[in-house]
Amino acid sequence: MTEAARPVADDPKAAVRARYEPVIGLEVHAQLKTESKIFCSCSTRFGAAANTQVCPVCLGLPGVLPVLNERAVRFAVMTGLAVGSSIRLRSVLARKNYFYPDLPKGYQISQYDRPLCEGGAIEILAEGERKRIGLVRIHLEEDAGKSLHPEGKEGVSTTRVDLNRAGVPLIEIVSEPDLRSGAEAYHYLTKLKQILVYLDVCDGNMEEGSLRCDANVSVRLRGAKEYGTKTEIKNLNSFRYVEKAIAYEIDRQIARIEGGERVVQETLLWDSARNVAETMRSKEEAHDYRYFPEPDLLPLDLTESWIEGIRESLPELPDALRERLVREQGIPEYDAEVLTETRSLATYYEEVAARSGQPKLASNWIMTEVNAVRNKTGQPIESFPIDAARLGDLVGMIAGEKISGKIAKTVFERMLEDPDGPAAIVQKHGLLPIDDEAALRTLAREVLAANPGPAAEFRAGKEKTFAFLVGQAMKQSRGRAHPEKLQAALRAVLAEEG
């Protein structure tokens, strides 16, 4: 069965959409977490007062020269190695020439035909299936400054330029056109960010602009060999906007084609307030960047041994860590995927599992209870109030049947506020389980005395009432009664009193 013949829901739009194959490639700019800028020693710290982290070099004053920051090269190579790129022993920095007020030199130092890293791939999990998204290249470049457009007096428009960001090191990661939907783009970005954060080369913060993404989108009839005309969407400030904008653009392009029009090659700006993409510039207005090798910097020559040194010092990456957790802890792949969201969450998990000796139970507790709280508060695991040792102890107590799962949830909630260990909290709040037979019989008698009606019904043969009586008893014990033993005690008392 061909894709086009695949049955679709009765949504007519979906039927049309199914005849087309979207083709998407992403260009991601990631800010490298270096202390200083790529060509000078100015700080890269975010949020300083405008134009306070600048010097003659990053201001592009006459006569200055760039000096390449070795750490930026190292971070770019780490990223390349992590995604399986080949690293060029000789790469070339190049000037990309264009005029803009926030571009102090009138050119951006970037890389063109000889980038630092080529090839490689990122594996994503999309709709339950693993898919490799190829990479074209990863290259080094400098960031531009920021243009600010404050409200002018009486409609006078002014532009202010903050050059703190000018010269901050970036890598641009260019994917192959291997993505097929906005959702895949979302997964790709999530995975890319995860890798960058694991490597500790980028903080992955989209709000502060540490990660920026442009999307190239085209559509073609399924089975077609040629690509359709593509458009580029810019101003995508969150992964969700990327997903939405791509979906929007796919529909727009299909609608044009279906309407007998052609897709025009252009650059679009995403308007997240109105959920539309609008033309920024057409192909005719496209810049001729006049790239040429940067004469102020010699070709960037690396040695095999330097690269190998970096390869050996790479941290464990999410895919490897996930596979190791599955192998060593015996937890399902899905759990491992969730637990490796960040390196610190995985470390937290490994500690809880080790302390409790309960890999799967530990995973359940983190995925449900811990993540439920974190989703509400937005806390990273590093600042979660219950550290791995205390959660490990709690999980251990559940497994050792020292407390029930239900009590454990109460204890967990108290632990969010109370720095004591779970055992101490159980003591302090009288949450110890009641499993002593005499005590359970006393409890049963009290419950039957308080509920003569239902007791009588049960004795008259209405078995259903038993559940009600168990519930009442459990309630009175504040959940502490051992469930099986409580039932046994109830039946025994009902029998002897009957």
Partner 1 sequence: MTPAPADWAEASAEQIAESVRGGKVSAEEVTRATLARADRTASRLATFLHRMPEEALASARGIDEGRSRGTTLGPLAGVPIALKDNICTRGIPTTCGSRILEGYHPPYDAHVVERLRAAGAVVVGKTNCDEFAMGSSTENSAYAPTRNPWDLARVPGGSSGGSAAAVAAREATLALGSDTGGSVRQPAAFCGVYGLKPTYGAVSRYGLVAFASSLDQIGPFARTARDTALLFNAICGRDPRDMTSRPEASPVRLEALEEGVKGLTIGIPRDILSGEGIAPAIRACFERAVAALTRSGASLRDVTLPHAKHAIATYYLVATAEASSNLARYDGVRYGLRAKDGNLTTMYEATRGAGFGREVKRRILLGTYALSAGYYDAYYLRAQKVRTLIRRDFSEALEKTDALLFPVTPTTAFGIGEKVDDPLSMYLNDIFSVPASLAGVPALSFPAGFDEAGLPIGLQLAGRPFQEETLLRVARAYEATDDAAARRPAIAKEGS
Nearer to partner 1, 106 or 419 (CB): 106
Q: Where does residue 341 rank: exposed (0-12), middle (13-18), buried (19+ CB within 10 A)? A: middle
Long-range contacts made by residues 45-54, C-beta under 8 angstroms, separation at least 24? 46/208, 46/210, 47/208, 48/164, 50/148, 50/160, 50/162, 50/164, 51/161, 51/162, 51/163, 51/164, 52/164, 53/164, 54/163, 54/164, 54/166
Q: Return the SS3 of 127.
A: coil
Nearer to partner 1, 49 or 99 (CB): 99
The interface with partner 1 within residues 256-295 (CB under 8 A) comprises 288, 290-292, 295
5, 6, 70, 101: residue in contact with partner 1 (rule CB under 8 A): 101
Is there binding between residue 450 and partner 1 (CB under 8 A)?
no
Nearer to partner 1, 101 or 330 (CB): 101
Contact 161, 148 (CB under 8 A): yes
Minimum CB separation from partner 1 for residue 27, in Å? Answer: 20
Contact 297, 66 (CB under 8 A): yes
Is there binding between residue 19 and partner 1 (CB under 8 A)?
no
Minimum CB separation from partner 1 for residue 29, in Å? Answer: 22
Is there binding between residue 97 and partner 1 (CB under 8 A)?
yes
The Cα–Cα gap between 200 and 318 comes to: 13
Q: Return the SS3 of 115.
A: coil
Q: Please, where are the H alpha helices in 94-238?
A: 182-199
DSSP string computed for 45-90 = -TTPPTT-S--HHHHT-TT------HHHHHHHHHHHHHTTPEEPSE
19, 33, 88, 95: residue in contact with partner 1 (rule CB under 8 A): 95
Nearer to partner 1, 296 or 420 (CB): 296
Minimum CB separation from partner 1 for residue 104, in Å? Answer: 6
Is there binding between residue 417 and partner 1 (CB under 8 A)?
no
105, 191, 343, 480: residue in contact with partner 1 (rule CB under 8 A): 105
Nearer to partner 1, 130 or 153 (CB): 153
Nearer to partner 1, 94 or 386 (CB): 94
Cα maximum dimension of the chain: 103
Nearer to partner 1, 106 or 380 (CB): 106
Sign of dihedral through CA atoms 355, 356, 361, 366?
negative
Is there binding between residue 59 and partner 1 (CB under 8 A)?
yes
Minimum CB separation from partner 1 for residue 106, in Å? Answer: 2
27, 123, 296, 418: residue in contact with partner 1 (rule CB under 8 A): 296
Site string for partner 1, 134-173 (x = CB under 8 A): -------------------------x-x------------
Q: Where does residue 35 rank: exposed (0-12), middle (13-18), buried (19+ CB within 10 A)? A: exposed
Interface with partner 1 by CB under 8 A: which residues?
56, 59-68, 95, 97, 99, 101, 104-107, 159, 161, 288, 290-292, 295-298
